[in-house]
Structure 1
Amino acid sequence: MLDGIGLTMFLPLIRAVDGGQIALAAEDMGKLSFVLDGIHAVGIEVTLESILILMLFFFTLKGVARFVTQYYQVMLRQRFANKLRLQGIAMLGNYKYTAFAEADSGRIQNSFSGEIGRVTNGYLNYFRTIEYSVVLFVYIILAGLANPKFALIVAAGGLLTNLVFNQVYSRTKVVSKRLTTESHRFQGFLIQTVTSFKYLKATDLIRRYQEKVAKSIVTVELYQRKLGFLSSVSTALREPLVVFIVVVAIFVQVSYFGQSIGLIILSLLFLYRALTSLAAAQATYNSFLSQTGSLDDAECFQEELSAGRERDGQIGFSGLKENIDLNQLSYAHGSDAVLQDFSLRIHKNQTIGIVGASGTGKTTLVNVICGLLETERGMLVIDGIDSCDLKLNEYRSTIGYVTQEPQIFADTIHNNVSFWDPESTRSREKVEKALALAHAAEFVRQLPQGMNTIVGINGLNLSGGQRQRISIARELYREVDILILDEATSALDSQAEVSIQKNIESLKGQYTMLVIAHRLSTIREADAIIHLRDEGRYDIGTFDELIERSASFRETVALQAIA
């Protein structure tokens, strides 16, 4: 509106420059003469100087409004992107472990990185299309007030241009969806290149894998190029079509309707602005369509995260006080039953060893205890409270879990052990204590940077045994109640294993420990040993009790030559 009023002042300005006949201009302004009437009403004399000052005033106000609008758009855009990321991270944190295990890692990675930018651009272009459409509507109204016939001709021509762009729009949507799908594939390949780099490099399979990645990169580039081509076609056609419509409208008005050129010029100013807004609306709408693949995928991704949300109870948990009960626990992976009618009571600060052949359910058992795998009500009870009723995040915060593939982050040893606790005298003392308990203090002291040593991606700068001990130290630093060691000594040499074994024995009675062990010597002194067998069968007892009554356990002991 500010721009329109400023443009309206051009006609009296032209008259003033031509011969000072400003009073006649009001008659030639059609229904827009209210602008001059308003100027007279506030007591401003219409002169060349006053018109110039008023034009400057209105366009300055327009500039201020434009600044506020664009700055506010920047704020909204960042807020929108951050809200998407924060919402996605929160939903991912509540995602079921079983659903995550089946998810596409490339899609998750891409949804939180590249797709967020594309969705945000889609959001921005969508509302810019609305903005330009509103501006278009305002200019058409102003042009209609100045010269209805001329405005009608140009408006009709503007609508016809949409027929030209409809094919471009439909093609853009198709290519956008294909680009999103291929981007997910590329991110998946990229993640697997990093996680499997050692294997691929050692076997020289990296070159063959590079071919798959390269093919995906080329396909992504192809779809991006197609979108760029469609956008370029749309941009190139826009201005010639606008000018063509204006030329035809002026010719018709002058040749057939005998319209005065002065009134046409004022209407033309509005309509050129309107057609520019139309072109901008078409451009932003086409840009919006190029992001629709990402928008659809983002919506589906959030729906999947929401559908895969794990159940959570309302009862708080401040630490294990008495025992963990497993009551007739049954669990199957697909059609394969792993655990059947399994019952066990684990007392606080008791050490339980878990052994058995591959596929007998050792890891499944501890995943159930961690609440990673959902069970039927009554199968898992902690301190008399059904796990279905517990706040799982509070329960899990009391669990330390060391897997056979140690979780090491590309940061310093201090941050790996403290999990980024602010560095202080107290945190350093706790880290040193945890490293000592995990028998890692000596090798850390020998490193050039000590606890400030950067360990690299997945701890590549450390040996397998060193990574495992850092992982154990992290759980000891957290001062958990329940400590789970899932074949935590499997990557250690014999000397280190003996050290960790002594360490486990020294921790006995201080933590409720579940130790999955391949080597039986690791859990020989456990309070009880669970020996899992095929078809869901199991034995429970001390080392000596199992030797006495379980033939399969005696066979395992004999194979490992344990005296």
Structure 2
Amino acid sequence: MVDLIEKTGFQLTLTVALILMVIIFFLKGILSYIRTILFSKIQLASTRKIRFRLVEGLRDTSYIGFSKIDSGVIQNNMTGETGRLVQSLILYFFTLQNVIMVITYLGLAFLSNWQFALLVLLGGLITNFIFRYLNIFTKKYANRLSQIGKNFQAFLLQNINHFKYLKATNYIAPYQEKIKKEIELSEENQYKIGKITAISDSLREPLIIIIIVIVIIVQINIMGGNMPSMMASLLLFHRSLSYLTSMQSYWNRFLTNIPGLNSVEEMLSEFKKSSEAEKPKIVESIEKIILTNISLQYDQHLVLDHINLSIQPKTSIALVGESGAGKTSLANVICGLVAPSSGEIFFKEKENLADYNINSFREHVGYITQESVIFDDTLYNNITFWAPKTPENLEKFKKAIQLSSLEEFLAFHKNDENLPLGNNGILISGGQKQRISIARELYKNPQLLIMDEATSALDSETEMIIKDNIDSLKGKFTMVIIAHRLSTIKDVDVIYLLDQGKIIASGNYAELYQNSERFRKMAMMQDMNR
């Protein structure tokens, strides 16, 4: 530095040294500001990118693949583990930064007194074995902490989803003991990690100082080293020591957060393994639907067994049978939610669905399940799925309200389409939730409408009103109806009776009642129960 100053033509005076110091630290401040802003951008961009990848992975996952993944694990990866992954990235950068500073000061120390520096470095490597041993325990408890976080998220999610039942039966108290246990386990592992970090931080400086003292004694008494060069080297080592301490601290914290990286990688791998193949060909419309030798198997259980049926465009069919007969599974195959294990699906005479983009097929499908789907938002947004409030959309909204018998409900709430419905529709009744679900699909105006026990939560009067409205829609789009109440499917074009995954009879209501003893018994039992 002295030689450099003198080469520029300046004499090394106090004024020059002070000005140089101000310039250096001013430049350091600018670089520090740039670094902080850069790291902030990296952190935000990384978080966004990772969460986008997880959201897109979830979107592309098949329904069967999704059913095998714990929802708590998905939520934990979207929130906690993503944060830990990004934090590990930042800590890794900080570790590298400190490695560079340590190498810089060690290099200067070697220039000052290479023998002294080499001995201290060897001593430092010996202490590193101690810290590596502590790091093994850090990784162990960090992995445990990650698993506990997944369990906690899963239990908490189920507590929220089943709150009504847990509260009504007072099972909420014992269930929350499970949640508390996970919190205690998390706290215990956090404490163990903190304890290891404390041991690591406490031992670091004393061990290095002991090594330096031993090296000074050895070099003076045995190797005949000179004190001035050793003191210069020691000063540089002291500077590198602070960066070494920071480096090891950042590395230890990096190991604490590394399970987040592993967890997110596993989740993305699981999504990829379960993803649906993307095909370029787009389904423009759904016409005749033909199922040829369709079989569906879950693990070793055969759910559908060589199903053959043809659904003419703009006709209505019904699937009936005992619980477990395969009705919902068949409906899921028809609407493209589940790919069959074998067989082919055609949505036109010769257009094989397997050759087309499945999402473009689903664009034309409406699905009403027996579990009402209500989002924590307004009535308008639930029915229109956040469509802008244009005159055209408002007219479609009103028509859907009318067809689903929600006019009285809306009038009672002063025609407020911005009425909040609460989490999972907690502010409205089961029947109202079901009617809103029906209204959403009618607003979509699909070409294929699947109704899986769509009127199960409705009273008889409302059920008959909706049945009449649905009957009025016959001929406008293709309908597949699953119903236990045979009264709701009396007027469909074709009824298919299923048993153990097979179609054992078909025909209209009158034909089945006359020709199928099983169907007749089902109808007579329901007549007796009314």
Q: TM-score range by the shorter chain?
A: over 0.9
Of the candidates 432, 454, 459, which is equivalent to residue 420 of structure 2?
Answer: 454
Measured against aligned partners, the alpha-carbon deviations of 1:492-532 in whole angstroms (never above 9, x if no partner) come to 00111011101110111112111111111111111111111
1: CA distance, partners of 2:516 / 2:302: 22
2: CA distance, partners of 1:283 / 1:71: 23
**Residue 324 of structure 2 is aligned to residue 359 of structure 1:** yes
Which amino acid in structure 1 is aligned with residue 517 of structure 2? A
Of the candidates 259, 264, 270, which is equivalent to residue 226 of structure 2?
Answer: 259
2: CA distance, partners of 1:533 / 1:252: 90
Secondary structure of the residue aligned to 2:297 is strand
1:62 CA drift (Å): 2.1
**Residue 252 of structure 2 is aligned to residue 286 of structure 1:** yes
1:394 CA drift (Å): 1.0
Q: Calculate the TM-score normalised by the size of structure 2.
A: 0.94
* 2:281/2:357 contact within 8 Å kept: yes
- Summarize the alignment of residues 104-503 of structure 1 with structure 2, pairs less than 5 Å apart: 104-248=70-214, 257=224, 259-261=226-228, 263-320=229-286, 322-376=287-341, 378-383=343-348, 384-447=350-413, 450-503=416-469
Which amino acid in structure 1 is aligned with residue 159 of structure 2? T
* 2:296/2:342 contact within 8 Å kept: no
1: CA distance, partners of 2:415 / 2:219: 83
**Residue 38 of structure 2 is aligned to residue 79 of structure 1:** no
Unpaired segments of 5 or more residues in structure 2?
none
**Could you say which residue in structure 2 is the equivalent of 1:11?**
none
Distance 1:149 1:93, change over 3 A: same
1: CA distance, partners of 2:511 / 2:196: 76
Which amino acid in structure 1 is aligned with residue 12 of structure 2? V
Secondary structure of the residue aligned to 2:304 is strand
**Could you say which residue in structure 2 is the equivalent of 1:24?**
none
2: CA distance, partners of 1:67 / 1:359: 65
Which amino acid in structure 2 is aligned with residue 202 of structure 1? A
Which amino acid in structure 2 is aligned with residue 390 of structure 1? Y
Distance 1:346 1:420, change over 3 A: same
Relative to structure 2, which stretch is displaced further, 218-227 or 39-48?
39-48
Which amino acid in structure 2 is aligned with residue 419 of structure 1? F
1:93 CA drift (Å): 1.0
Distance 1:194 1:331, change over 3 A: same
Secondary structure of the residue aligned to 1:339 is strand
- Considering only CA atoms, is the larger Rg found in Structure 1 or Structure 2? 1
1:109 CA drift (Å): 1.3
Distance 1:218 1:212, change over 3 A: same
2: CA distance, partners of 1:307 / 1:337: 23
2: CA distance, partners of 1:469 / 1:551: 34
* 1:94/1:310 contact within 8 Å kept: yes
1:191 CA drift (Å): 0.9
1: CA distance, partners of 2:221 / 2:384: 84
1:388 CA drift (Å): 1.3
Distance 1:55 1:341, change over 3 A: same
Q: What is the root-mean-square deviation of aligned Cα atoms in Å?
A: 2.1
Distance 1:88 1:466, change over 3 A: same
Distance 1:381 1:331, change over 3 A: same
**Could you say which residue in structure 2 is the equivalent of 1:58?**
24
* 2:295/2:342 contact within 8 Å kept: no
* 2:335/2:450 contact within 8 Å kept: no
Of the candidates 553, 556, 562, which is equivalent to residue 519 of structure 2?
Answer: 553
1:260 CA drift (Å): 4.7
Secondary structure of the residue aligned to 2:197 is helix
* 2:88/2:257 contact within 8 Å kept: yes
2: CA distance, partners of 1:468 / 1:539: 30
1:255 CA drift (Å): 6.6
Q: Calculate the TM-score normalised by the size of structure 1.
A: 0.89
Relative to structure 2, which stretch is displaced further, 354-363 or 268-277?
268-277
Unpaired segments of 5 or more residues in structure 1?
1-34
Measured against aligned partners, the alpha-carbon deviations of 1:161-212 in whole angstroms (never above 9, x if no partner) come to 2122122101111111111111111111111111111111111111111111
2: CA distance, partners of 1:71 / 1:243: 36
2: CA distance, partners of 1:203 / 1:376: 41
Relative to structure 2, which stretch is displaced further, 415-424 or 102-111?
415-424
Which amino acid in structure 2 is aligned with residue 100 of structure 1? F
Distance 1:266 1:478, change over 3 A: farther
* 1:350/1:512 contact within 8 Å kept: yes
2: CA distance, partners of 1:534 / 1:334: 16
2: CA distance, partners of 1:299 / 1:338: 33
**Could you say which residue in structure 1 is the equivalent of 2:54?**
88
2: CA distance, partners of 1:116 / 1:268: 42
- Summarize the alignment of residues 474-553 of structure 1 with structure 2, pairs less than 5 Å apart: 474-534=440-500, 536-553=502-519
Measured against aligned partners, the alpha-carbon deviations of 1:290-347 in whole angstroms (never above 9, x if no partner) come to 1233222222222211111123332111221x21111111223333333222111112
Relative to structure 2, which stretch is displaced further, 466-475 or 70-79?
70-79
1: CA distance, partners of 2:476 / 2:415: 32
Distance 1:286 1:103, change over 3 A: same
2: CA distance, partners of 1:200 / 1:448: 34
Relative to structure 2, which stretch is displaced further, 535-544 or 95-104?
535-544
* 1:312/1:388 contact within 8 Å kept: no
Secondary structure of the residue aligned to 2:527 is coil
* 2:297/2:341 contact within 8 Å kept: no
Secondary structure of the residue aligned to 1:207 is helix
Count of aligned pairs: 527
1: CA distance, partners of 2:414 / 2:259: 50
Identity of aligned residues (%): 39
1: CA distance, partners of 2:160 / 2:171: 14
1:70 CA drift (Å): 2.4
1:126 CA drift (Å): 2.1
1: CA distance, partners of 2:17 / 2:178: 67
2: CA distance, partners of 1:341 / 1:357: 18
Distance 1:479 1:535, change over 3 A: closer
